[in-house]
Amino acid sequence: MKKYFLILFSIMALHAGSQSAIGITGERDTSYNITNEYTKHLKNYPAIQIAKEKSYQYIAAEKNITYCNTKERELKLDVFYPTEKAGKKRIAIIFIHGGGWRSGNKAMHYPLLQELAALGYVCITPEYRLSTEALYPAAIHDIKSVIRWARKNAAKYNIDVDKIVAAGHSAGGELAAFMGATNGMKQFEGEGCDKNVSSKVNAVIDLDGTLAFIHPESGEGDDSKRISAATYWFGYSKTENPEIWKQAAPLTHVGKHTPPTQFINSGVARMHAGREDFIAVLKQHKIYSEAKTLEGSPHSFLLFNPWFDTTIVYMDKFLRKVFPVEQKKFAKEITVAQNGSGDYTTVQAAINAVPVNNKKPVAITIKKGIYKEKILIDSLRPFITLAGQDKLNTILTYNDHTGKVAPNGDTINTRTSWSFKILADNFTAIDITFQNDAGFTAGQAVAVESNGDKAIFKNCRFIGNQDVLFTNSDRSRQYFENCYIEGTTDFIFGSSTVWFEKCRIYSKKNSHITAASTPKEKEFGYVFNWCELDGDTSLHSVSLGRPWRPYSAVAYLHCYIGQHIKAEGWSVWNNNSNHLNSRYAEFNNFGPSYKPEGRVKWSKQLSEEEAKKYRLLNVLSGWNPLK
Contact status, residue 206 vs residue 178, Cβ threshold 8 Å:
no
CA gap 401, 445 in Å, rounded:
4
Q: Contact at 8 Å (CB) between 72 and 60? A: no
What does the alpha-carbon distance between residue 107 and residue 78 come to, in Å, rounded to a whole number?
9
Sign of torsion over alpha carbons 142, 145, 289, 366: negative
Query: Which of these is catalytic: 142, 194, 467, 534?
Result: 467
Say if residues 458 and 481 touch (Cβ distance below 8 Å).
yes
Report the alpha-carbon distance of residue 544 to residue 531 in Å, rounded.
Answer: 13
| CA atoms in the 13 A half-sphere facing the CB of 198 | 12
What Cα–Cα distance (Å) separates residue 435 from each residue in 227, 317, 386?
Answer: 51, 21, 15
Is 434 in contact with 447 (CB distance < 8 Å)?
yes
* 397 backbone dihedrals φ, ψ, rounded to 5°: -145, 155
Nearest to 129, CA basis, from 142, 120, 119 = 142
d(CA 533, CA 333): 36
* Dihedral angle of Cα 421, 427, 432, 434, to the nearest 10 degrees: 20
Going by C-alpha positions, the residue among 329, 390, 330, 382 that lies closest to residue 351 is 382
Identify the helix (H) or strand (E) that includes residue 614.
none
Among 144, 172, 212, residue whose Cα is nearest residue 303: 172
Q: Provide DSSP, 40-61.
A: HHTTT-TT-EEPPP---TTEEE
For residue 269, how many other CB atoms are within 10 A of its CB? 11
Do you know the residue count of the chain?
A: 627
- Say how far apart CA 215 and CA 540 lie, in whole Å: 52
User: Helix, strand, or coil here: 420?
Assistant: strand
**Residue 34's Cα: distance from chain center in Å?**
19
490 in active site: yes
> What is the distance between the alpha carbons of residues 43 and 32, in angstroms, rounded to a whole number?
18
Omega of the bond leading into 306 within 30 degrees of 0 (cis): yes
Distance CA 496, CA 476 (A): 5
| Cβ(542)–Cβ(507) below 8 Å | yes
Report helix, strand or coil for 493. strand
Report the distance separating Cα 368 and Cα 341, nearest Å. 12
- Cα dihedral 482, 37, 77, 533 sign: negative
Q: Which residues of 162-196 are buried (b: 16+ CB within 10 A; e: fewer)?
A: ebbbbbbbbbbbbbbbbbbbbbeeeebbbebbbee
Specify the amino acid at residue 485. I
Q: Which of 318, 311, 312, 323 is CA-nearest to residue 90? A: 323
Of the residues 206, 425, 490, 534, only one is catalytic, namely 490
Catalytic residues: 467, 490
